[in-house]
Amino acid sequence: FLCQSISGIVAVIFVLKKVHEVVGGEKCPLFSGVLLKKMLIIAIPSAIQQSFISVGNILVQRVINGFGTACMGGYTAAIKLNNMFVTSVTALGKNERVRHGCRSGVAIGMTMGAIFAVVFYVFAKPLVYAFISDGNLEAVDVGVDFLHIVTPFYVFLSIKLMVDGVQRGAAR
């Protein structure tokens, strides 16, 4: 919490200083109702979507917990690798032209999805083992099984993530 607070304060100070440089040294308003409305049009649907995803993750974790500690450990290790892929693909597609950007993002995302899928599928055991600190082999097996089930769909997930980003940006 402390690190996030300090980072947030430093970020706000940095942005306020940079805004004056971008505007050309003119005094810019600290608050704009028009900009707030534009941000809320994008932020509210995104926040609602993320809330549903978080609640879904909690429900899935509750079910996983019922299968015991080995399953919990394996799932946790595999989901960390899965999140690494999702984060990598989500950072793509920041191009200026929407149509071209979407196509480029999808192509790059599909390529990354295929690469991650092959690497995570082939090297599932050592990758999951890297996240299991107590050496619980049953947990490693659960994580490997999870990756073997999920990774073939990374290509399709990358398409979904790109299209979601374009749709969110369309509200602008």
pLDDT in tens, 38-62: 888 888 888 898 888 889 888 888 8
Higher-confidence position of 92 and 70: 70
Mean pLDDT across 116-127: 91
| 154-169 helix and 98-122 helix, angle to the nearest 10 degrees | 150
Question: 76: part of which helix (H) or strand (E)?
Answer: helix 69-90
Higher-confidence position of 149 and 29: 149
Q: Is the pLDDT of residue 23 over 60?
A: no
| Residue 79 token pair | 């989901």
Phi and psi of 161, rounded to 5°?
-65, -40
Rounded CA-CA distance 67/63 in Å is: 7
Q: What is the pTM of this model?
A: 0.55
